[in-house]
């Protein structure tokens, strides 16, 4: 089958996933055997259907989507201005949360070890980007010696003792350890 027909068939299957499942189950019942799709592929196509409904993207596999989304999000994060508003940072964080949800489903289908390796690789890349942004922000603000800019996320992150926080964050103090935490509201 030509590649363009395979791509068109995949796009149609993802677009009309609920009908594909019904037809597949009906055919399996009529024949008395399993359908032509493995349970892994059914789960993967179901997740790709969720992605299509949320983002409008049609991909051939979850791996393809996760690679493309991670590349795009990393690029957006890298190119985000040092003084970007918190709303923009929040949007990027929400997009990353969605990526992690899809990665969780990928791990459920193809194995948690694969997903964890991927998660760790992306976490290291994001930490490198964050450190680079923090250095640029500190230089742009001409922070005093020994002070660092704190960049919040949607998750609670520990504020270093020499950290300077932007306004509008939510704060929490752990009374047992005297550590301060902050996150985007």
Encoded tokens for 81: 């201005």
For residue 31, pLDDT over 50 is answered with no
**DSSP code, position 37:** S
Better-predicted residue by pLDDT, 41 or 126:
126
Highest-scoring range by mean pLDDT, 4-13, 21-30, 102-111: 102-111
Task: Work out the average pLDDT over 166-183.
Answer: 92
As to burial, measured by CB atoms within 10 angstroms (0-12 exposed, 13-18 middle, 19+ buried), residue 51 is buried
Count of alpha carbons within 13 Å of 83, Cβ hemisphere only? 3
The set of residues, in sequence order, having a beta carbon less than 8 Å from that of 85 and lying 6+ positions away, is none
d(CA 20, CA 119): 31
Tell me how far apart the alpha carbons of residues 58 and 12 are, in angstroms, rounded to a whole number: 9
Average of per-residue pLDDT values in the chain: 82
pLDDT value, residue 174: 92
Q: How confident is the model at residue 17 (pLDDT cuts 50, 70, 90)?
A: low
> For position 100, what pLDDT does the model report?
93
The predicted pLDDT at position 78 comes to: 87
pLDDT at 124 (0 to 100): 94
Looking at residues 153-161, what average pLDDT do you find? 90
> For residues 50 and 44, what is the distance between their CA atoms, to the nearest angstrom?
10
| Helix H or strand E encompassing 87 | helix 86-110
CA atoms of 177 and 185, how far apart (whole Å): 23
Least confident piece of the model among 46-60, 136-150, 163-177:
46-60
CA–CA gap between residue 157 and residue 151 (Å, rounded): 9
Do 51 and 57 form a contact (C-beta atoms < 8 A)? yes
In this model, does residue 27 exceed pLDDT 80? no
Average pLDDT over residues 51-80: 86
Lowest average pLDDT, out of 31-35, 108-112, 164-168, 171-175, goes to 31-35
């Amino acid at each position: 089958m030509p590649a363009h027909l395979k791509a068109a068939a995949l796009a149609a299957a993802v677009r009309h996933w609920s009908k594909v499942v019904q037809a597949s189950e009906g055919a399996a019942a009529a024949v008395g055997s399993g359908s032509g799709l493995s349970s892994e592929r059914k789960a993967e196509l179901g997740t790709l259907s969720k992605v299509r409904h949320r983002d409008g993207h049609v991909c051939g596999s979850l791996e393809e989507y996760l690679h493309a989304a991670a590349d795009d999000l990393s690029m957006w994060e890298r190119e985000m201005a040092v003084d970007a508003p918190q709303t923009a940072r929040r949007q990027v964080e929400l997009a990353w949360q969605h990526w992690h949800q899809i990665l969780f489903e990928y791990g459920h289908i193809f194995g948690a070890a694969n997903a964890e390796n991927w998660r760790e690789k992306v976490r290291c890349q994001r930490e490198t980007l964050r450190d680079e942004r923090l250095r640029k922000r500190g230089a742009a603000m001409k922070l005093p010696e020994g002070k660092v800019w704190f960049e919040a996320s949607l998750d609670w992150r520990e504020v270093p003792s020499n950290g300077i926080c932007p306004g509008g964050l939510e704060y929490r103090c752990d009374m047992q350890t005297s550590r301060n935490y902050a996150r985007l509201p």
